[in-house]
Chains A and B, each alone.
Chain A
Amino acid sequence: MSFRARHLLGIDHLKPDEITTLLDLAGDYVALNRRTVKHADALAGMTQINMFFENSTRTQASFELAGKRLGADVMNMAVAQSSVKKGETLIDTALTLNAMQPDLLVVRHPHSGAVNLLAEKVNCAVINAGDGRHEHPTQALLDALTIRRAKGRLHRLTIAICGDIAHSRVARSNLILLGKMENRIRLIGPATLMPAGVSEMGVELYEDMREGLRGADVVMMLRLQKERMDGGFIPSEREYFHRFGLDAEKLALAAPDAIVMHPGPMNRGVEIDGTIADDINRSVIQDQVEMGVAVRMAALDLLARNLRAERGRAAAGEPQWT
């Protein structure tokens, strides 16, 4: 087994073999989660704190469930409503938490790079649950596991990512992960929602969705945020759906066995037609949610192992690596 990271801050710092190790272990946890008795003891006695500086229901629930199924004591801190409002800085919040001796810290923050900053100030393992428009590594990993199980492999696939690429940390993490695993990546969306310089990242860009979907094995739709819908980046929901919404006619251009993915929550009729989202032969959207819990269990487990090993070496007086 090879997984060397101390924190999971992004996909960028993972090697392909580390990704494979994590996905293999997550596969085992999928089996565990389908049993009636879902408990394991990989995190027994450890404390996991979920710190969400940005509101989240799905991701937070997924992390909470993952920690509890592995036997950790899990605490949720809705930081968005508390100390930040009172004026505490991010670093002070981190130091306060650190003094409570947690082992695993799951953090979501609206600012890119905030989780990296926090990781430098604490002694525990940190998982990035989404920072600004930077990275959302567990989402990319759960997407990878979903693809691997549906297509039987995670390489040499043509994967179309469609929608608001510019503001999406999901797109960024997926771009990095799927690129590392040697897939052909196409980005589809209006130019106003494409990040600058993306053409230099080894991807193909399409502003015509029909062209971009032609022959794709995987169609990954992104959520269009409400605040982007009116006039600033795109003219209207209806024009967006007309040009970039996934409907049966456009999907027919993809490979006959193409799967449809969406990180949720969906805007039916804006980026995806309801009947596509519900089509059990094409849509793997519910599988993504299931894989999410398993991937987060695997990530927590692997980080906990490295944390124990590190503390063991420290106790034995060996020189510490960081």
Chain B
Amino acid sequence: MDLIFRNARLIDPEALTDAPGSLRVTRGLIAGRGASDEPAPEGATVIDCRGRALAPGLIDWGVKIGEPGERHKESFRSAGRAAAAGGVTTIVARPDTTPPIDTPEALEFVARRASDAPVNIRHMAALTKGREGHEMTEIGFLTDLGAVAFTDGVRVVRDARLMGRCMTYARGLGALIVGHPQEPSLSHGAAATSGKFASLYGIPSVSPVAEVMGLDRDLALVAMTRGRYHADQITVAASLPALARARDTGLDVTAGISIHHLTLNEFDVGDYRTFFRFTPPLRSEDDRQAMVQAVADGLIDVIASFHTPQDEESKRLPFEAAAPGAVGLQTLLPAALRLYHQGGLSLPQLFRAMALNPARRLGLPAGRLSDGAPADLILFDPDAPFVLDRFALLSKSKNTPFDGARMQGRVLGSWVAGHPVFGEHA
């Protein structure tokens, strides 16, 4: 079935353009662009975008789904529905489940379960067995089965020799390692960034230096092994010089950041609100602004939600005892649009960080509007205002820091390989 989107505002993250036009889709693939009022081919389904933005669907890199082990917090079905409603057409799932995705057999299980979701699901696998940091996983078999990257999540592989060997072994297979830059002996037990706020509220805290140290170690190992490396979250300005240096010397290094660290700061925690507890913790306003600039400059490549569903019991605890993380599949786009409305980032820049760059880094064909790419598309109104009600979220878990927040940006429709999965056309 052919599709044509007419009268659209096309957001192209490759050309970094934001211009009116139309887009054709044939057999699930993007098949060319034209003028806004391009006549529809015979038999094609016409979608009149009425001047709204049409962009590649978001690729959310680092989503926790509760299967296996915590299905009461999130299932592939519930996460997939939330993703479709939030404009996320590809979920890149985390392996930090219970048990973790550390064997080919476990990966086959989640790959089967993922067919419940209406959007694309790709999987990362654990880097070490049991995420315990002692023995590497079967990176070869897991790569053959489609694992797109290897990570122990927020558990740092403390043993530098093992981390180096993992990078060396993965290099031969072209596999990507995702690190969590953090010096664990410093960050252990911390729930806030050290500074005036943490001191006044008496919250155990960690210096931003812990991130710099972790990043420095990982980058030194990359220099030694020439492996492929992605830092999951770079959140403080002090990390940026090392990252820039690594890029300049030609190391195969990229970096990401969570949308929460780009839109919230340490003071948002306010009166011990546990929905604002993250790993790493929220940073200072200076750091937040530096990170927005780093995304604009392209030094930080990827923005993701780090969707982490937690049930009420995990959050209804004293701040430092509460589980970290927030759901984000449905709030990633409107939160990111805050940066657009504030003038820090253009729409093409945002979609470069939330669609094109993750696709490129993970070897996925989506994330762009070019001919031949899969027609994973979203139609949205970047200006539509609303007040977020956490109980209206489709995730099984409702732990969002944006409850009651005034936001802008509504997804009108989502398509995966040309098939509508959300919106009035679905």
Residue in A231, A233, A236, A243 whose beta carbon sits within 8 Å of that of B134 in the complex: A231
**A235 in the interface (beta carbon within 8 A):** yes
Q: Mark B120-136, 1 if CB is under 8 A from A, else 0.
A: 00000000110000111
- A207 proximity list for chain B (CB < 8 A): 172
Give the CA-CA distance A192 to B172 in the complex, in Å.
Answer: 9
Q: Is A242's CB under 8 angstroms from B134's CB?
A: no
Give the CA-CA distance A259 to B380 in the complex, in Å.
Answer: 65
Q: Mark A192-235, 1 if CB is under 8 A from B, else 0.
A: 10000000000000010000000000000000000000111111
- A242 proximity list for chain B (CB < 8 A): 140-141
- A233 proximity list for chain B (CB < 8 A): 165, 169
- A236 proximity list for chain B (CB < 8 A): 138
Q: Is B169's CB under 8 angstroms from A191's CB?
A: yes
**B235 in the interface (beta carbon within 8 A):** no
**B171 in the interface (beta carbon within 8 A):** yes
Q: Is B135's CB under 8 angstroms from A191's CB?
A: no
Give chain B interface residues in 159-175, CB to chain A under 8 Å.
162, 165, 168-169, 171-172
- B137 proximity list for chain A (CB < 8 A): 235
Q: Mark B133-151, 1 if CB is under 8 A from A, else 0.
A: 0111111110000000000
Q: Is A235's CB under 8 angstroms from B168's CB?
A: no
Q: How distant is A182 from chain B, measured CB to nearest CB, in Å?
A: 29
Q: Is A235's CB under 8 angstroms from B140's CB?
A: yes
Of the candidates A192, A231, A235, A236, the one having the most CB atoms from chain B within 10 angstroms of its own CB is: A235
Give the CA-CA distance A273 to B330 in the complex, in Å.
Answer: 52
Q: Is B140's CB under 8 angstroms from A192's CB?
A: no
**A130 in the interface (beta carbon within 8 A):** no
Give the CA-CA distance A238 to B103 in the complex, in Å.
Answer: 12
**A257 in the interface (beta carbon within 8 A):** no
Q: How distant is B263 from chain A, measured CB to nearest CB, in Å?
A: 39
Give chain A interface residues in 243-284, CB to chain B under 8 Å.
243
Q: Is B172's CB under 8 angstroms from A235's CB?
A: no
Interface range on chain A: under 10, 10 to 19, 20 to 34, or 35 or more? 10 to 19
Q: Is A231's CB under 8 angstroms from B128's CB?
A: yes
Give the CA-CA distance A191 to B228 in the complex, in Å.
Answer: 14
Q: Is B171's CB under 8 angstroms from A191's CB?
A: yes
Secondary structure dominating the interface of A? loop
**A163 in the interface (beta carbon within 8 A):** no
- B136 proximity list for chain A (CB < 8 A): 231-232, 234-235
Give the CA-CA distance A242 to B104 in the complex, in Å.
Answer: 13
The number of residues on chain B lying at the interface, defined by a beta carbon within 8 Å of a beta carbon of chain A, is: 16
Residue of B at shortest CB range from A234?
B169
Give the CA-CA distance A190 to B171 in the complex, in Å.
Answer: 10
- B128 proximity list for chain A (CB < 8 A): 231
Of the candidates B139, B162, B168, B169, the one having the most CB atoms from chain A within 10 angstroms of its own CB is: B169
- A235 proximity list for chain B (CB < 8 A): 135-141, 169
Q: How distant is A249 from chain B, measured CB to nearest CB, in Å?
A: 16
- B135 proximity list for chain A (CB < 8 A): 230-232, 235
Q: How distant is A166 from chain B, measured CB to nearest CB, in Å?
A: 11
- A191 proximity list for chain B (CB < 8 A): 168-169, 171-172
- B139 proximity list for chain A (CB < 8 A): 235, 239
Q: Mark B161-193, 1 if CB is under 8 A from A, else 0.
A: 010010011011000000000000000000000
Residue in A231, A232, A243 whose beta carbon sits within 8 Å of that of B140 in the complex: A243
Q: Is B165's CB under 8 angstroms from A239's CB?
A: no
Give the CA-CA distance A231 to B135 in the complex, in Å.
Answer: 4
Contact A190:B169 (CB < 8 A) given known A232-B162, A235-B136: yes
Q: Mark B233-247, 1 if CB is under 8 A from A, else 0.
A: 000000000000000
Q: Is B138's CB under 8 angstroms from A239's CB?
A: yes
Give the CA-CA distance A19 to B168 in the complex, in Å.
Answer: 37
Give the CA-CA distance A191 to B129 in the complex, in Å.
Answer: 20
- A230 proximity list for chain B (CB < 8 A): 135
Give the CA-CA distance A239 to B135 in the complex, in Å.
Answer: 14
The interface of chain A, by Cβ under 8 A from chain B, is 190-192, 207, 230-236, 238-239, 242-243
* Pairs across A and B, CB under 8 Å, 15 listed: A190-B169, A191-B171, A192-B168, A230-B135, A231-B128, A231-B135, A231-B162, A233-B169, A234-B169, A235-B138, A235-B139, A235-B140, A239-B140, A239-B141, A243-B140
Known contacts A232-B136, A234-B169, A235-B137; 5 additional CB pairs below 8 A are: A190-B172, A191-B171, A192-B169, A235-B135, A238-B138
Q: Closest 4 interchain pairs by CB? A: A231-B135, A207-B172, A235-B138, A239-B138
